C-alpha cells in the first residue's frame, strides 16, 4: 500500500542533518525588516494600513514588523542601537541630534519642504501678538522636534534668544493638554496635532515655518543596513513615492484610511492636516542638507547641542546608485 507524505521544514532539516547536507538547505529564507514610525509618519502609516510593504517585500522573502514611537528622538535612538532597521520620516532636527550623539545613520529619502505644517499657536484671547511677545513666557515644545527649531528661528527673527523664554519640554499629547488647560502661554507643534488643535480649540497663529524653517522630513536607516540591503531600501523608496503621489491625488480617500490610525480623528481634520504637507518623496543629495547645517548651528548656538555638527559628514543612500 502506498500513500503520499508531506515533509515539514523541520523534518527536512532533520534529514539534512542526518545526511550531512545541511549546507544545501536554508533554515529560514526570510529576512526581518523592523520599521519604526510615529503617528505623524503619514506615508508609512498608509503603507502599513494597506499592507503594501508586506506584499512587495514578501516577494524578496522579507518579513516586516512595525514598532511605534511617541516621537522622533527615541525612534532614532532605537535605530542607532539596532532595535529597528528603518526609521519612517522624522523632522529635520532629529538627525542632527543623532549625529551629535555619534549615531551611524544613513539618509535614504526625504519629503520636500512643508513650512506651514508646523506653527506657534496661542489661545484666541491671548494678549501675545507676535513671537517678540514670548519673552519671559512659558512655551510648550517637543525637544529636538522640527517645531523646536521653528521656535528658535522665530525668536531669533524677533531679536530674542532661546534663553529669553521658558521652555516646557512636552510630547505632543502632553503639550496639547498643557495648552488646553492654560498651563503654558504658547504651544509649538506640527501636523496632525496642529490642525486638530485649530479645529477643536480657539487658537491664533503667532508664526509658522514660512521664511523661517523649511521643515523637511527624512527617512533613515543604519549605515550597516544600507550596505547590506540596498534592494530593500530601493523597494521601500519606490513604494513611498507611489504612496505620496496617491495621497495627493486622493486626499479624501487617504484621510478616511488614516483617521482611525490617528486615534479616530475626523477625516476632515486629517485631510486639512495633510494639505499642509508636501508628501513629495525624493532622493537625498548633499545639497538637500543645507538647512540641516543651519539647524545644527542654531541649536549649538543656543547651547542645546553638546558640540558642533558638520551635517555633510553623513551617509547618503541613493536609488540612483543601485
Residue 226 lies in a domain: yes
User: Are residue 154 and residue 242 in the same domain, yes or no?
Assistant: no
User: Is the separation of the CB atoms in 115 and 214 below 8 Å?
Assistant: yes
Give CA separation, 26 vs 13, 19, 196, 229, 287, in Å.
Answer: 9, 15, 50, 19, 43
Whole-model pTM: value is 0.85
The total number of residues written for the chain in this structure: 322
User: Is the separation of the CB atoms in 43 and 53 below 8 Å?
Assistant: no
Per-residue pLDDT of the chain (322 residues; tens, 9 = 90+): 444 333 333 333 343 334 444 444 343 457 899 999 988 899 999 999 999 999 999 999 999 999 999 888 889 999 999 999 999 999 999 999 999 999 989 999 999 999 999 999 999 999 999 999 999 999 999 999 999 999 999 999 999 999 999 999 999 999 999 999 999 999 999 999 999 999 999 999 999 999 999 999 999 999 999 999 999 999 999 999 999 999 999 999 999 999 998 889 999 999 999 999 999 999 999 888 999 999 999 999 999 999 999 999 999 998 855 4
Q: How far apart are CA 322 and CA 300, in angstroms?
A: 36
User: Are residue 315 and residue 222 in the same domain, yes or no?
Assistant: yes
End-to-end CA distance of the chain: 56
Q: Are strands 281-282 and 86-91 parallel, antiparallel or unpaired?
A: unpaired
User: Is the separation of the CB atoms in 106 and 221 below 8 Å?
Assistant: yes
User: Are residue 140 and residue 163 in the same domain, yes or no?
Assistant: yes
| Closest-CA residue to 109 (of 40, 43, 63) | 43
Grid coordinates representing 31 are 529576512
> What is the four-CA torsion angle of 106, 173, 300, 82, rounded to 10 degrees?
-30
Residue 249 lies in a domain: yes
Say how many domains are in the chain. 2
User: Are residue 88 and residue 221 in the same domain, yes or no?
Assistant: yes
Domain that holds residue 70: 31-112+216-262+277-321
Amino acid at each position: 500500500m502506498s500513500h503520499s507524505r508531506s515533509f515539514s521544514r523541520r523534518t527536512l532539516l532533520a534529514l539534512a542533518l542526518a545526511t550531512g547536507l545541511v549546507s544545501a538547505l536554508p533554515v529560514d529564507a526570510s529576512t526581518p525588516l523592523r520599521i519604526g514610525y510615529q503617528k505623524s509618519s503619514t506615508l508609512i502609516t498608509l503603507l502599513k494600513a494597506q499592507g503594501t510593504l508586506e506584499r512587495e517585500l514578501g516577494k524578496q522573502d522579507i518579513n516586516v514588523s512595525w514598532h511605534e514611537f511617541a516621537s522622533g528622538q527615541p525612534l532614532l535612538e532605537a535605530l542607532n542601537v539596532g532595535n529597528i532597521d528603518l526609521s519612517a520620516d522624522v523632522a529635520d532636527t532629529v538627525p542632527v541630534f543623532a549625529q551629535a550623539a555619534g549615531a551611524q545613520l544613513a539618509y535614504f529619502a526625504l519629503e520636500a519642504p512643508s513650512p506651514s505644517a508646523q506653527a506657534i499657536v496661542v489661545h484666541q484671547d491671548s494678549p501675545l501678538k507676535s513671537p517678540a511677545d514670548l519673552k519671559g513666557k512659558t512655551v510648550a515644545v517637543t525637544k529636538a522636534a522640527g517645531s523646536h527649531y521653528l521656535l528658535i528661528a522665530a525668536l531669533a527673527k524677533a531679536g530674542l534668544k532661546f534663553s529669553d523664554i521658558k521652555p516646557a519640554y512636552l510630547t505632543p499629547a502632553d503639550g496639547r493638554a498643557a495648552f488646553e488647560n492654560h498651563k503654558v502661554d504658547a504651544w509649538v507643534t506640527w501636523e496632525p496635532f496642529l490642525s486638530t488643535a485649530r479645529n477643536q480649540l480657539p487658537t491664533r497663529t503667532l508664526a509658522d515655518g514660512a521664511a523661517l524653517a523649511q521643515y523637511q522630513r527624512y527617512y533613515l536607516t543604519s549605515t550597516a543596513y544600507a550596505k547590506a540591503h540596498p534592494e530593500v531600501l530601493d523597494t521601500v523608496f519606490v513604494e513611498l513615492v507611489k504612496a505620496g503621489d496617491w495621497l495627493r491625488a486622493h486626499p479624501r480617500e487617504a484621510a478616511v484610511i488614516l483617521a482611525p490610525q490617528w486615534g479616530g480623528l475626523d477625516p476632515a481634520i486629517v485631510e486639512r492636516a495633510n494639505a499642509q504637507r508636501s508628501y513629495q518623496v525624493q532622493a537625498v543629495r548633499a545639497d538637500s542638507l543645507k538647512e540641516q547645517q543651519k539647524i545644527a548651528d542654531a541649536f549649538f548656538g543656543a547651547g542645546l547641542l553638546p558640540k558642533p555638527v558638520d551635517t555633510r559628514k553623513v551617509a547618503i543612500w541613493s536609488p540612483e546608485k543601485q
